[in-house]
Amino acid sequence: MKKFSSLLHNLILTPSRNTKIKLLQDYFNKLDINRAYALAILSDQLSFQFIKASKLRELVYEQVDQHLFDYSYDYVGDLAETISLIWPTKKEGKSQNLSTLIENIKKIKKSEINTEFSKILSELSNNERWTLIKICTGGLRIGVSERLVKTALADLYNKSVNEIEEIWHGLEFPYENLFQWLKNEISKPKIDFKKLFHPMMLANPIDEEKDFKRLDANEFQAEYKWDGIRVQLMVSSKSVSLYSRTGDNISSAFPEIIEATEGDAVIDGELLVGRNFKPSGFNDLQQRLNRKKASKDLQNKFPVFIRAYDILFYKGKDLRKFSLLERRKYLEKFQKENKTNQIDLSSIINFSTWKELTKYKNNFHDDLNEGVMIKLKNSEYLPGRKKGYWYKWKKNPKLVDAILMYAQRGHGKRSSYYSDFTFGVWKESELVPIGKAYSGYTDKELLVLDKFIRNNTINKFGPVREVKKEIILEVAFDDVFPSTRHKSGVAMRFPRIHRIRWDKPVNEVLTISEFKKEFKLS
C-alpha cells in the first residue's frame, strides 16, 4: 500500500507525460500480485459496495466535529484529501499489501463497516488514507487516463497499445492472461468480440476557420447531433444488452428496449425520450437517467427509443473495417428486417457546400438537436477520438447577461479558488438567481473574479459568499426549461461563463419576465 500510494502521489504531482509513464512502468515492472489490483484501480474497475462518499462522511463525523470538517472540506475541495488530513492518526499499524488490504475490506460485513473500516483508516498514514478513500469514491482524478496506463504497459512489453485496447473489454480481474501475453508466455487472449462492448467512435469539435478550408464537403455526410445519451445496443438471438458510452451495462434501466429488440447486430445510437420517434428534450430524459430500474409508470410517462447512427456487427460479421457508406446499407437492412417502435434511423442531411450545411446546423425550428455531425463517408469505425474522421459542429449557444450574486470555492483543479458562480436577473428591484456555472472562463478571468469576490464579499452563508452586485457575466447555455424547483422558475442546461461584460451597467440586465419572453418560456 505504501508503494502504491506513493505512486499515486507522484502521478498527481508530475506534469510530464513521459515521467508519468516511467513511474507507471517502474511500478508494474515489479511482478507481484499487487499489479492486478493497481491496474483495476487505475482503470476505475474496482469499487466497494458499501463504502461510498456518503458513508465516508458519516464515518468522519464520528471522528471529528461536523462543522470543523465542513470548514475544512470547503477549503480543500476534495473529499478524499480532507478526510485523509483530518482523520485523527492513531499509531500507524503494520504496512499492508495493497492486495491484502483490499481483500480484507471486501470481507467486511455491512453491519460492521463503521467500526472495521474506521479502524483501517486509523492505522494508515495520511497518504495511504488518501489513496484508499480515492479508491472507494472511484474516479481517481490524478491526471492519468486509462489510455495512459495501457500505453505504459504496451511500451514496457513492446506491444502496441491498440492491441491492448482491442481486447481490453474482454479482460477480467486479475488479468492473468493479459500479463502472461505481455510477457510473451502465451499468445494473445481470445476474446468473443460479439459479446464485448466495443469502445465507441467519437467526434472532434470542428474548427470552422481551419477545417472548412481544408476539407472537401463531397467526402462527408452529415446527420443531426441529438441531445440524449450515446449507447451501444447488442442484439443476438440469445440476449439483448445496452451499454453506455463508458461500457457500463444499463440494460435494466431500459427494459422496453431490451424486450422489443430482435435480430443479430451491434448498433451504435442515441437514447432519447419521446413518442413516435419525436424526442422531447433532455429534461425528460433526465427522469430516466441514473436509475437502476424503471417502473411501468415511468416507462409510460417517459418512453425511450434509440436513434441509430451506425452498425458494428451484422449477423456475426465484423463491419468495423467497412466504410461508413457500406455500414449504412447494413444498418438500413437491419432496421427493415427488425421493425420496432424502439429504433429508428438517424436521417442523413443532403448538402453540397459547407455554407449550405450552416442552416441545418443552426436549425432553430427544431430545438431538440444540438447541431450536426460531419462524418467522412469512407471512415472505418475506429475506437476513440481519432482526428480527421468524425466532427461535431454545435449550434451557437444561447447567451444572456446576468449579474454575479454568489460564489463558492471550486473542487478538483479549481479547489480554493472562488470558481462556482451563481448569477441572476432582476425581479422588480431585487435579483433572482437563474443559474450556476463553474466553467467557460479563462484562467485569467478566474483570477480576476476570485479577487473581486474576496474583496467584495458582503455576506457569508457557510461556504457561500454573497458579493456586491457589480459584475455582469455573459452566460452561454444550451437550453433553458421551465422549472418548479427554482425560485426564478427556470432551469438552464449547461450554463458556462462566456465572458465578463465590463462595459455594461447592471441596470441594463433583463428582468425575469423579459428573460422568459426572450427564450419562449412564457
Partner 1 sequence: MDFINHQLFIKDINVHIDPIFPKKTAIITHGHADHARFGHDHVIATRQTIDIMKIRYGDKCAKKFTPLRYGQKYSIKNYDFTLYPAGHILGSAQVLIEKNNHRLVITGDYKVGKDETCKNFKLVKCDTLITEATFGLPIFQHPDPKDEIQKLIRSVKINKNNCHIVGAYALGKAQRVMNLLRQQKYNETIYIHGSLEKLCQYYSKEKINIGKFEKVSSKDKNFYEGKIIIAPPSALKDRWSRRFPNPIICMASGWMTVKQRAKQQGIELPLVISDHSDWNELLDTIKKSKAKNILITHGQEDALVYYCKKQNLVSKPLSIQGRSDEEIE
Using CB under 8 A, list all residues that contact partner 1: 9, 12-15, 64-65, 67-69, 71-72, 75-78, 81-82, 85-86, 130, 412-413, 415-416, 454
In the bound state with partner 1, the residue whose beta carbon lies nearer, of 135 and 425, is 135
Distance CA 329, CA 448 (A): 54
Query: What's the CA gap between 131 and 10, in Å, rounded?
Result: 12
Closest by alpha carbon to 269, among 319, 305, 220, 316? 305
Rg (CA), the chain: 26
In eight-state DSSP terms, residue 111 is G
Cell numbers 481519432 label which residue? 386
CB of 12 to partner 1, least distance (A): 6
Q: How far is the CB of 135 from partner 1 (least distance, A)?
A: 16
Query: Which C-beta is closer to partner 1: that of 264 or that of 420?
Result: 420
Which one, 11 or 434, has the nearer CB to partner 1? 11
Least distance (Å) between residue 113 CB and partner 1: 24
Torsion from C-alpha of 400, 406, 412, 416, nearest 10 degrees: 140
- If the CB atoms of residues 144 and 178 are measured against partner 1, the closer one turns out to be 144
The CA-atom distances, in angstroms, between 313 and each of 171, 247, 457, 470 are 20, 17, 59, 58
Report how far residue 69's alpha carbon sits from residue 85's, in angstroms, rounded to the nearest whole number: 10
Minimum gap (Å) between residue 41 Cβ and partner 1: 17
Which of 340, 415 has the CB closer to partner 1? 415
We find the least distance from the C-beta atom of residue 460 to partner 1, in angstroms, to be 8
Taking the complex as a whole, the smallest distance from the CB of residue 92 to partner 1 amounts, in Å, to 13
205/72 Cα distance (integer angstroms): 39
CA distance 201 to 495: 27
The SS3 assignment for 222 reads strand
Output 21 or 182, the one with its CB closest to partner 1.
Answer: 21
Cα-Cα-Cα-Cα torsion 345, 350, 354, 356, nearest 10 degrees, comes to: -120
Contact 174, 41 (CB under 8 A): no
74 vs 262, beta carbon nearer partner 1: 74
Whole-angstrom distance, CA of residue 210 vs CA of residue 222: 18
197 vs 417, which CB is nearer to partner 1? 417
Q: At its nearest, how many Å lie between partner 1 and the CB of residue 416? A: 7
What's the CA gap between 283 and 170, in Å, rounded? Answer: 35
What's the closest the beta carbon of residue 445 comes to partner 1, in angstroms? Answer: 16
